[in-house]
Amino acid sequence: MMIMKLNKSKLFASLVTAMALVGCSDGKDGKPGEDGTPGTGDDTVISASVLTVAVSEAAFVDSKLSVTFNAEDQLGNPLVGILDVRTTVAKLVPDAQTSGADWSSYLRKATDISQDQYPDVANVSLPTSEKGGTLVDNLDGSYQYTFEADLLNSVDPISGAPIVWDESLTHRLGLEIRKSSNYPVANTSFDWVPAGGEVSHFRQIVAVESCNNCHTELAFHGGNRVDTDNCVTCHNPDAFDPISGESLDFKIMVHKLHQGIDLPTLAHEGNKYSLFLRDGQKEKVFAENDGIWVLNNKGTIDGINYPQDIRNCTSCHADEADLALNPNLSGTITPEGGNWKSIPSVATCSSCHDNIAFNDAMMAAKPNSIEHIMFPAADDTCLSCHGDGFGNSVENMHTVAALGKKSAGIDYGVKFEVTQLVATSSTAYDVHVLVTQDGKGIALTDPYLQFKNSVRLLLNWDNGVGFETHVAKNTPNSFELDKNPNCRNGASVGDIICHWDTALDININNAEPLISGDILTTFISSGVCVNSSNERVSCEENNAQEKISAPSTVMNNFFDAATLSYNPDFELKLAANFDKCDSCHEQVIQHDSRRSDDPTQCKACHNANRFTRSPADSPRDGGSSDLKFEVHKIHSNHRFVDAENAFVMVGRNEFYSAPISDCAQCHDDAQIDLPLAQNSRASITRAPTTSLSDGNNLVRDGAVYTSPIAIVCTSCHLSVGPGLIGSDGNIVTDADGSTLLTRDLSSNGLGYDNGEFPQVAVSITAEEKSMINHMIINGGAVFGASSQEAASGSESCAVCHSIGSISGVDKVHGQFN
C-alpha cells in the first residue's frame, strides 16, 4: 500500500527515502520467515492506453469524506501508480418553480480579478475542485481518496455563509484522473445519498456520447475534463463570469456556445458572446458582430456556426419518446433527456432566445431586449403555454419543426428526374427531364419552388477517374430549365427537353464523341421555401431571414455513355463516409439548400478540375474548389485564425468541434491510407486567366495544378493556398517580381470594404517552408505545375506515411487506438 498526500515535492522525497532503505544491508541473509499472505498476483499493470475508473463507495471517516475507486487498463487489468486526481462534490437541490433540480457545489473558491485591470469588477465565489487530499494506492488497482476539505462545515469564501451539508439529498462525486505519460485522462462520477438508501432523484440529461458524435472526445480545462456528468458539478446555476457577466451554468453556457453566430443579440453591431479565462487574463470570443464583413451567410457576424438546425434539441438530449418520433436519432437516450420539453425555464429559454426579456431584471441588463408576450414571466408559468398538447409546445416549436423542415421538400411531393438521353449527333443529346408532383407532371410555374423558375439541370462526364469538368451558371453543361434557349417543353406537362452538345466543352473528352464512361444528370436550386412553422411560402416574396429552405427530391441518374442506357450500378467514388457527415450535420445541405443532401451534386461541381472565378481586379487565392481541399480547409480554418494572410474558405473564425487530426470523424480506414484510393487526381489550385473575366468559360489555359496528396496535406497544414507555392517551394511572384497578394479574411480585422477584399502580401512561416521542402524533396510533391499530367504520378509519400509505416497517417494522426 502506498499513501500519498498529493504534494509532488513530498512525494518525491518519500520515494527517494524508500529507495535508499532498500539498499541498506549487512551482507548476510537472515533466517527464513513465516509464509506471508497471498499477494495480488502479477496481473497489475503500470500503464494503459485506455483507462477506466469506477467509484464503489463514498463515506465519512473521521468527519472527512473518503472515496474508494478502482482503475483498469483497456484489457481489464488492475492499474497501479495513479498519482494525480481531482475531485468535486455537489448536491442535487430541488427547484420548486420548475419541478426540476440543479446541482450545487460544496467546494468553492474566490476569483482573483486584477483590480488595476478591472477596477469595477468585484471578486465572486465559484465552484471548484479539490486536489489536496490524501490518496492511498492499495497496489491492487484499488485506491482511496480522502478529502482535505471539511465538507460538513463548508463556507462560501466571499460571503462566509455556510454551505449546508444535506445528507437527505442526492449527491454526486466527480473524479478526474489526470493524464500522465503512463495513462490517459479518465473521468467518472458517483451518485449516492449520504443518509443511506437508494438514489431516487436524478439529473442525467446529457450523455457525453451524444457530445462526442461531433466532438470525438470532449476535452476542456487542459484536456482533463471529458465527461459532462462531471462538468455539471461545477457549472452550477449560481456560477457566472464576473467580467463579462455571462452565466457559467452548464445549460446556459452550452446553449449559447452552440447557438453561436445565431444568437439574436448579435444582430446589433458591437455585441458579442465571450468569456474571460484565468481570472480575466484572457478573453475568449465565441461569437461577435464587429461590423467587419465575413465570408459566411451572417454578414458581419463571426464565430461558432452550429452545423445543423439548432432546433433539433434531441441531438444532445433525448428520451424514449424522442426516439419514437425520430428513429434515426443520433443522440443517446438518458433518464431525464426529455426535460428540455417538459421542464422549461427562463434560464434555458433565454440562453438561445437571448434578445427576449422575461422580467424587469433582464430588461434592465439588456435594454434593447424584447419583452416576452407574457411579461413578466416566471418559470412556473412556462408550461401553461408551452406544455405538451399546445400548438406552440416546446417540442412542436423545436424538434417537430426541425424534422418537419427536413422533410418539407419531400412531403411537397415534387421530383426532378432525367428519364432518358437521346443522341442527336455524335456529340449532342436531347436530355429528357420530367418534373412531377405526387407522380403527376407539373409546370415550373409553382410559386413555392426554390428561387422560382431557376431550377437547373447539371450534366457531367466520368470516365473512371472522376468528373471531367465543372459547372457554373451558364456553362454548356448547365441549364436553367425555363430560361435556357436550349430547353423546350415536351409533349406532356412536366416534360422538358434540353439540348446538350459536349463539343462545346473541350474538357469533356477533348470535345470528341463519348464512347466510354458515364454521364451524370442531376439538378440544383430545386428546393421549396417554408416559414418557421413549415408552411410553404414564396421564395421570391420572402428574404433569407424569413424563410427556411428544404430540398425537394432529386434523382441523381447515371447513363452509360456508349449505350445511353440507365446505369443503376454506377459507384460514386468518395474519399469520405458521407453518413459520418450526418453525425454532426444531421443533414448536409449547402448553398441555402439550392443543393440537395447528396454527395453526387457536391462532386458534380467540386472536383479536381473546378476553379473559382475571381473578379478581374482580384488576385487568385491559390486554393482549390476540389472537395478534398475545400472540405478540409473549411474544417481546419481555426488553425490559422490569427495568420495575417490565412486562406480562409468560409469565415475568419470558423470553429471545428473535433480534433482536426481525427480523420476517423469523417473517413473510414481505407479512405485515409496512402496513396489516395479515391479522388487521386491533381487539382487546379490557381485559376486560369480566362476565369478572371468570364466565369462561364471552361478553357483552362494558365491554370496551375498541385499534386493530389500535397493538396490534401496543405489543406490543414498550410496557412496560404498551395497554388501560391511555386515548383521550387517558394512563394510565386508576378512578372515584375512582386509577391502575389491574397485577399484577407483572417481575424486581424481587415475584412471586407465596399465590395473589395483588402489584400496582403503572401508569406509563410519557417516551419511551413520546411514542410514544403520535405514534401517536394522526400515526397515528390509537385507545386506550380502547368498541367494535370505534370502534377501527377511523382508522389512517394506512401513510403513513410501509409498506414502501418513508421510515420503512417494512422500514427501521426492518432488513429485506430
pLDDT in tens, 640-654: 766 665 555 555 556
pLDDT at 556 over 50: yes
pLDDT at 751 over 50: no
In this predicted structure, what is the pLDDT of residue 596?
A: 62
pLDDT band with cut points at 50, 70 and 90 for residue 735: low
Higher pLDDT, 693 or 346: 346
In this predicted structure, what is the pLDDT of residue 475?
A: 83
In this predicted structure, what is the pLDDT of residue 445?
A: 78
pLDDT band with cut points at 50, 70 and 90 for residue 592: low
Mean pLDDT throughout 6-29?
Answer: 41
Higher pLDDT, 692 or 50: 50
Kindly report the number of other CB atoms within 10 A of residue 95's CB atom: 15
Higher pLDDT, 577 or 41: 577
In this predicted structure, what is the pLDDT of residue 737?
A: 66
pLDDT at 362 over 90: yes
pLDDT at 801 over 90: yes
465-479, 621-635, 704-718: which has the highest mean pLDDT?
A: 704-718
In terms of Cα–Cα distance, which of 146, 118, 114, 123 is closest to 133?
Answer: 146
Geometric angle at alpha carbon 251, from 371 and 290, rounded to 5°: 65
Mean pLDDT throughout 178-198?
Answer: 97
In this predicted structure, what is the pLDDT of residue 755?
A: 46
Strand order across the beta sheet in which 85-95 lies? 100-105, 85-95, 171-177, 186-192
pLDDT at 584 over 80: yes
What are the Cα distances from residue 666, in Å, to 50, 571, 608, 764? 22, 19, 20, 28
> Would strands 414-423 and 553-554 be described as parallel, antiparallel, or unpaired?
parallel
- The identity of residue 151, as a single letter, is L
pLDDT at 260 over 90: yes
Question: Can you give the C-alpha Rg of the chain in angstroms?
Answer: 31
pLDDT in tens, 95-114: 988 889 999 999 999 999 99
- Containing 771, the helix (H) or strand (E) segment is helix 766-777
pLDDT at 231 over 60: yes
In this predicted structure, what is the pLDDT of residue 613?
A: 55
pLDDT band with cut points at 50, 70 and 90 for residue 23: very low
pLDDT at 7 over 50: no
C-alpha distance across the termini of the chain, in Å? 32
Tell me how far apart the alpha carbons of residues 667 and 101 are, in angstroms, rounded to a whole number.
40
In this predicted structure, what is the pLDDT of residue 724?
A: 87
CA 478, 482, 485, 491 torsion: positive or negative? positive
Kindly report the number of other CB atoms within 10 A of residue 746's CB atom: 23
Contact 639, 716 (CB under 8 A): yes
pLDDT in tens, 518-551: 999 999 888 777 777 778 777 766 554 455 667 7
Q: What is the DSSP string of 67-101?
A: EEEEEE-TTSPBB-----EEEEEEEEEEETTTTEE
- The identity of residue 50, as a single letter, is V
pLDDT at 790 over 70: yes
Mean pLDDT throughout 196-207?
Answer: 96
pLDDT band with cut points at 50, 70 and 90 for residue 747: very low
pLDDT in tens, 268-304: 999 999 999 989 899 999 999 988 766 556 678 888 8
For the chain, helix (H) and strand (E) counts, in that order, are 19, 32
Contact 494, 435 (CB under 8 A): yes
pLDDT at 689 over 70: no
Tell me how far apart the alpha carbons of residues 753 and 251 are, in angstroms, rounded to a whole number.
38
In this predicted structure, what is the pLDDT of residue 265?
A: 96
pLDDT band with cut points at 50, 70 and 90 for residue 721: confident
Dihedral of the alpha carbons of 390, 391, 395, 398, in degrees to the nearest 10: -150
Mean pLDDT throughout 397-407?
Answer: 88
Residue listed under C-alpha cell 456528468 = 229
Rounded to the nearest angstrom, the gap between the alpha carbon of residue 706 and the centroid of all alpha carbons in its chain is 28
pLDDT band with cut points at 50, 70 and 90 for residue 407: confident
What are the Cα distances from residue 176, in Å, to 45, 131, 221, 270, 813? 20, 10, 12, 39, 25
Tell me how far apart the alpha carbons of residues 708 and 729 are, in angstroms, rounded to a whole number.
16
Rounded to the nearest angstrom, the gap between the alpha carbon of residue 754 and the centroid of all alpha carbons in its chain is 32
Mean pLDDT throughout 768-792?
Answer: 96
**Domain limits, the chain:** 2-7+43-201, 250-401, 413-573, 606-817
In this predicted structure, what is the pLDDT of residue 444?
A: 83
In this predicted structure, what is the pLDDT of residue 185?
A: 97
Q: List the grid coordinates of 190.
A: 458517483
Higher pLDDT, 647 or 414: 414
DSSP 249: -
Mean pLDDT throughout 668-674?
Answer: 91
Contact 284, 277 (CB under 8 A): yes
Dihedral-angle region of residue 273 (phi above 0 means left; psi in -120 to 50 means alpha; beta otherwise): beta
4-8, 34-38, 492-496: which has the highest mean pLDDT?
A: 492-496
Residue listed under C-alpha cell 478534398 = 628
**pTM value?**
0.87
In this predicted structure, what is the pLDDT of residue 622?
A: 80
Lowest mean pLDDT among 182-186, 314-318, 507-511: 507-511
pLDDT in tens, 449-463: 655 557 889 999 999
By percentage, how much of the chain surpasses pLDDT 70? Answer: 83
Tell me how far apart the alpha carbons of residues 209 and 213 are, in angstroms, rounded to a whole number.
7
